[in-house]
DNA sequence: TATCCACAGGAAATCAGGGTGT
DNA sequence: ACACCCTGATTTCCTGTGGATA
């Protein structure tokens, strides 16, 4: 990422010269898409066992029979989605009559029962026929059944539910899965089959017994993380497609593979690393991708994730983070920040910005948990004995980075919150409490 | 040893904002 | 205009709790 100049205007970036030089520089990429997560290569190394199993389960679709529902487990970047997509391509190639339909549903994006039904319907029709809200669920289900029989006559439709675990956490999740897994009972002309893809191995425990029996007809297929050597093979193949000849050495690919292997063998991450390294090298106008580009890429990716994540949070979550930031900013010693403090400061901030509601303890508590889950902060519940039970919160990423990101948030900039000193910190309340707490810890 | 603090965090209710069909 | 639907954010109500202190 290129640095923007800040409000003090010390650094200014000449975009025209940058583009001119960039165009003059060497071109490293041949086919950048090959490093995208959506890209399906001609072969998937080290997933033979999984491919074999899924092919076995789904083969009967070729003869017009209904494949059983099944599940794929494995951590992010272990090739679950890619394998399923790969199978779908191959199946279509070998189908003599009507190839099966495939509807992909990413449950992080399409995350409610209503929207899943609407998404399936709209995908099959190819148009936005069902509105984003408004109709009763059972009405849509009926419409969908009608559509299946009409539109997919004498064929099979695979419903792929990616990140299916997200669904279970929400209310109505079990119900929609139950409905989807027994669609066939209400269909005459067409048959459906559900493929669930999950990151969490434990998610079956949260399923209803009725759903488990529908979905667990087959042994789940487990995708194990890649090791460094396997990641190397994957990267090597993709790099050959993505980069021009001689642009990247084996050593650099090995480095990417090694770094990604440390993070539970995530192939998606490895590919991202490789692409970013290529982009950095291209920006630097070097002819080859070097190891230092990979190192820089690694740092950039981490930072980009953080920045992107913070920007994507709702305003109230940003203000909660802001409260934590201010608490750590205005206290010289290493102070102990509790959920109570955060609530107080957040309330102050909410009063400064018009049309921002002051939230309850309960809600702030949830936001703190979300921030902790995302890795921006650490929050540990601790009992202070007579002084009650609370959460002790600590910022977990670079102070400067948080400062930089938060200061770009519109409302925070508009109301000059970066320099705001919370009233609670102007009293001795926090200080006194901290003296007691420090002794206890 | 009972007490009591300052919350944690689950469950259900409520509200607002998007929509529908009649 | 009206009754009703779905969703996401938040509130309300609630019970639970670790351990210093009286």
Q: pLDDT for A78-95, tens place per residue?
A: 999 999 999 999 999 998
Distance between CA A81 and CA A128 in Å, rounded?
25
User: What's the CATH fold of domain A48-223?
Assistant: Rossmann fold (3.40.50)
Residues of chain A with CATH 3.40.50.300: 48-223
Mean pLDDT of A159-186: 87
At a 7 A CB cut-off, the residues bordering strand C are: A 111-115, 133-138, 170, 172, 314, 316, 357-360, 362-363, 366, 383-386, 388-389, 436, 440
As a rounded value in angstroms, the CA-to-C1' distance for A365 and B8 is 8
Q: Which residue shows structure tokens 């009725």? A: A210
pLDDT exceeds cutoff 70 at A179: yes
Place of tokens 């309850």: A360
User: Within 10 A of A190 (CB to CB), how many other CB atoms are there?
Assistant: 21
Q: Specify whether domain A313-438 bears CATH 1.10.10.920.
A: no
Three-state secondary structure readout of A75-113: CCCCCHHHHHHHHHHHHHHHCCCCCCEEEEEECCCCCCH
Inter-CA distances, A358 with A198, A276, A346, A430, Å: 37, 41, 8, 21
Q: Is the pLDDT of residue A236 over 60?
A: yes
**Separation between the CA of A387 and the C1’ of B3 (whole angstroms):** 12
The CATH architecture annotation of domain A3-38+226-310 reads: Orthogonal Bundle (1.10)
pLDDT score of A111:
86
Closest CA to A273 of A313, A232, A332: A232
- Please count the CA atoms within 13 angstroms of the CA of A79 that sit on its side-chain side: 28
**Which residues of chain A does CATH 1.10.10.10 include?**
313-438
Distance A390 CA to B6 C1' (A): 6
For A394, phi then psi, to 5°, come to -135, 140
Contact (Cβ atoms closer than 8 angstroms) between residue A273 and residue A280: no
pLDDT in the model for residue A265: 87
Point out which residues pair with A104 in neighbouring strands. Answer: A160
Three-class SS of residue A395? Answer: strand
Question: pLDDT tens across A334-391, in order?
Answer: 789 999 999 999 999 999 998 899 999 999 999 999 999 999 999 999 999 999 999 9
How would residue A126 be classed by pLDDT, with cut points 50, 70 and 90? confident
Are residues A128 and A72 in contact, defined by beta-carbon separation less than 8 angstroms?
Answer: no
Span of A17-26, A277-286, A423-432 with lowest mean pLDDT: A17-26
**Nearby residues of A319 by Cβ (< 8 Å), 6 or more positions away:** A346, A349, A350, A353, A356
Q: DSSP readout, A101-148?
A: EEEEEETTTS-SHHHHHHHHHHHHHTS--S-SS-S-HHHHHHHHHHHH
Task: Read off the pTM.
Answer: 0.84
**Domain limits, CATH 1.10.8.60, in chain A:** 3-38+226-310
Position A2 confidence tier, pLDDT thresholds 50, 70, 90:
very low
User: Which residue is closest to C10 in terms of CA–C1' distance?
Assistant: A363
Q: Closest nt to A383 (CA→C1')?
A: C18
Out of A128-132, A364-368, A424-428, the most confident range is A364-368
- In whole angstroms, how far apart are CA A298 and each of A188, A294, A377, A387, A399? 53, 6, 21, 43, 19
pLDDT averaged over chain A? 89
Q: What is the pLDDT of residue A10?
A: 60
Q: Nearest-CA residue to the C1' of C22?
A: A386
Q: Are A373 and A317 in contact (CB under 8 A)?
A: no
Q: Whole-number Å distance, CA A265 to C1' B8?
A: 35
């Amino acid at each position: 990422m290129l640095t923007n100049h800040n409000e003090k205007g010390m650094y200014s970036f000449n975009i025209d010269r940058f583009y001119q030089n960039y165009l003059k520089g060497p071109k490293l990429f041949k086919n950048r898409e090959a490093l995208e997560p959506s890209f399906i290569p001609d072969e998937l190394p080290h997933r033979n066992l999984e491919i074999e199993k899924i092919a076995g389960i789904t083969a009967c679709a070729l003869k017009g029979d209904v494949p059983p529902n099944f599940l794929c487990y494995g951590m992010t970047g272990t090739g679950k989605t890619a394998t399923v997509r790969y199978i779908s391509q191959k199946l279509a190639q070998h189908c003599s009559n009507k190839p099966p339909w495939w509807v992909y549903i990413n449950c992080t994006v399409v995350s409610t029962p209503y929207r899943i039904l609407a998404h399936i319907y709209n995908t099959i029709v190819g148009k936005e026929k069902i509105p984003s809200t408004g109709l009763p669920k059972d009405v849509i289900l009926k419409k969908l059944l009608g559509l299946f029989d009409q539109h997919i006559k004498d064929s099979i439709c695979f419903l792929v539910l990616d990140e299916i675990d997200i669904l279970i956490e929400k209310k109505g999740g079990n119900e929609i899965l139950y409905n989807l897994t027994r669609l066939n009972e209400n269909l005459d002309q067409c048959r459906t089959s559900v493929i669930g893809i999950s990151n969490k191995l434990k998610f079956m425990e949260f399923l209803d017994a009725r759903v488990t029996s529908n979905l667990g007809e087959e042994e789940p297929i487990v995708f194990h993380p890649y090791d460094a050597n396997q990641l190397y093979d994957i990267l090597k193949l993709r790099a050959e497609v993505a980069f021009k000849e001689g642009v990247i050495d084996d050593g650099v690919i090995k480095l990417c593979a090694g770094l990604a292997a440390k993070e539970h063998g995530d192939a998606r991450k490895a590919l991202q690393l490789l692409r970013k390294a290529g982009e950095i090298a291209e920006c630097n106008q070097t002819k080859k991708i070097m190891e230092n580009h990979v190192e820089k890429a690694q740092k950039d990716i981490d930072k980009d994730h953080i920045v992107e994540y913070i920007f994507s949070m709702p305003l109230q979550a940003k203000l909660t983070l802001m409260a934590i930031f201010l608490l750590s900013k205005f206290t010289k010693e290493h102070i102990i920040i509790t959920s109570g403090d955060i609530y107080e400061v957040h309330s102050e901030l909410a009063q400064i910005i018009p049309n921002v509601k002051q939230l309850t303890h309960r809600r702030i508590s949830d936001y703190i948990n979300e921030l902790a889950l995302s890795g921006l902060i650490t929050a540990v519940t601790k009992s202070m004995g007579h002084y009650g039970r609370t959460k002790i919160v600590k910022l977990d990423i670079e102070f400067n980075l948080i400062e930089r990101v938060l200061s770009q948030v519109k409302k925070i900039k508009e109301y000059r919150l970066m320099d705001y000193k919370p009233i609670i910190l102007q009293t001795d309340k926090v200080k006194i409490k901290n003296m007691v707490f420090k002794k206890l810890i």
